[in-house]
Structure 1
Amino acid sequence: MNTEAQPVVVYVTYQGAPQDRFDRDYYVGVHLPLTMKAWGQYGLLSLKAFFPATEQEGTLALCECVFRDEGAFEAAFASPERSAVMADVPRFTAIAPLRARVTAL
Structure 2
Amino acid sequence: MTRTQDVPVTIYVTYEGAAGAAFDRAYYVEHHLPLVMHHWAQYGLVGVAAFFPAVEQAGTLAICECRFRNAASVDAAFGSPEARAVMADVPHFTDIAPIRVRAVAL
- CA separation in 1, counterparts of 2:3 and 2:10? 18
- CA separation in 2, counterparts of 1:72 and 1:31? 19
- CA separation in 2, counterparts of 1:77 and 1:101? 13
- Residue 33 of structure 2 is aligned to residue 45 of structure 1: no
Q: Any gaps of 5 or more consecutive residues in structure 1?
A: none
Match of 2:80 in 1: 79
- CA separation in 2, counterparts of 1:31 and 1:3? 32
- CA separation in 1, counterparts of 2:2 and 2:45? 22
Match of 2:2 in 1: 2
User: For 2:43, what is the secondary structure of its paired residue?
Assistant: coil
Match of 2:30 in 1: 29
User: For 1:39, what is the secondary structure of its paired residue?
Assistant: helix
Map Cα deviations across residues 42-96 of structure 1 (whole Å, 9 max, x no partner).
Answer: 0000000000001110000000000000111110011000000000000000000
- Residue 41 of structure 2 is aligned to residue 67 of structure 1: no
* Structure 1 residue 2 displacement after superposition: 2.1
- CA separation in 2, counterparts of 1:49 and 1:12? 9
Q: Which amino acid aligns with 2:25?
A: R
Q: 2:20·2:56 contact (CA, 8 Å) conserved in 1?
A: no
* Structure 1 residue 3 displacement after superposition: 2.0
- CA separation in 1, counterparts of 2:80 and 2:68? 14
User: For 1:79, what is the secondary structure of its paired residue?
Assistant: coil
Corresponding residue pairs, total: 105
Identity, % of aligned pairs? Answer: 60
What's the C-alpha RMSD, in Å, of the aligned pairs? 0.9
Q: Any gaps of 5 or more consecutive residues in structure 2?
A: none
Larger mean CA deviation between 95-104 and 1-10 belongs to 1-10
